[in-house]
A = this chain, B = another copy of it.
Amino acid sequence: MKLASLKGPTRDGTLLLVNSGLTRAVNTDGIAPTMQYLLEHWEESHAKLLDAAESLECGNERHAFDFQAALAQGAIDAPLPRAYEWLDGSAYLTHVERVRRARNDKVPESYYTDPLMYQGGAGSMMGARDPIRAKSEDWGIDLEGEVVAITGDVAMGATPAEASAAVRLITLVNDVSFRKLIPAELAKGFGFVNGKGANALAPVAVTPDELGQAWDAGKVSYRLVTHINGKWFGNPNAGDDATFSLFDLIAHAARTRELKAGTMIGTGTISNKDPATGYACIMEARVVEQVEQGEPKTPFLKYGDTVKIEMFDHQGDTIFGAIEQKVVPYP
């Protein structure tokens, strides 16, 4: 099942069912008005939505409309337009190793058993075609391409196995970061506030069964393809080199608190050991350039720059649709 949200009439948007080819969508009125409602009423709503999804797939939904046209018109919100909890892990330690190597530092041993994770803000997610807005190009505007799990309710102290049963949907995120603000902020010791901007989700979120065999023990074994200004930037495989699965990350987040339906858990920037797979964030490219070429070459994003982040199945079809954003000045 593939799900999206139309913008409005409330800040929670309007839940949509989308067909597997992402060409047609239909309002789920009468089943679940919003994604947040669905996540809180999954058991009751899921079977009815499956029936409606089957009708849509067969072309039998009379009220279906052109999803791609709605997307192009800017009418599509993030599948979950706002989330109460956004907890972002660092599953790909290659990313952490490269960043640390550039400052002659090592990854602490504990990082391989105790996930690094921060709590971010998700009170206003961007839709996949919404612009990245910043008040200054000097912030060091960067993308971070990641996989995200959206959960149902999770009990405090849930094990990774228990966490696995709570995964409702998978999608992609562009976790926007302001690199030049981060060193001073992290030095204060309390994590990120100014260093992270609003984030965008892919146009659709999908139930794990849509990923078939590629959904493997809490990892998604497909490549995340990123382009910057139309130029290939990387295609690391999200199933490779992940020290922690999404199940591990959910369990870590739930160690001392209940997670409520609609919690979003991120993998952290996807990164493979194989340098041929490129990058899913600019900072990592820059630290590798620093080590190998003596100075960083890839600039951070400027106004007018575009980023495109997507993931394809083995047939080459887009799974979640593309995050395609342009950087603009905040008005």
Contacts and interface: CB of A to CB of B under 8 A. Distances in A.
A193 B40 contact: no
Given A123-B259, A186-B190, A189-B191, 11 more contacts: A10-B40, A84-B122, A84-B124, A85-B123, A87-B121, A87-B193, A111-B188, A118-B190, A121-B257, A124-B258, A133-B156
A266 B119 CA distance: 16
Contacts of A260: 11, 82, 123-124
A118 B191 contact: yes
Contacts of A195: 256
Interface string A289-331: 0000000000000000000000000000000000000000010
A255 interface: yes
Nearest to A134: B256
A258 B189 contact: no
Contacts of A133: 156
Contacts of A257: 121, 124, 196-198
Contacts of A123: 84-85, 259-260, 262-263
Can you tell how many copies of this chain the complex includes?
Answer: 2
Contacts of A184: 110, 114
A106 to B, nearest CB: 14
Contact of A135 (B108, B190, B194, B256): B256
A181 interface: yes
B119 A119 contact: yes
Contacts of A11: 40, 260
Nearest to A83: B84
A117 interface: yes
A169 to B, nearest CB: 17
Given A156-B135, A257-B198, A119 B121 contact: yes
Contacts of A189: 116, 186, 189, 191
A170 to B, nearest CB: 20
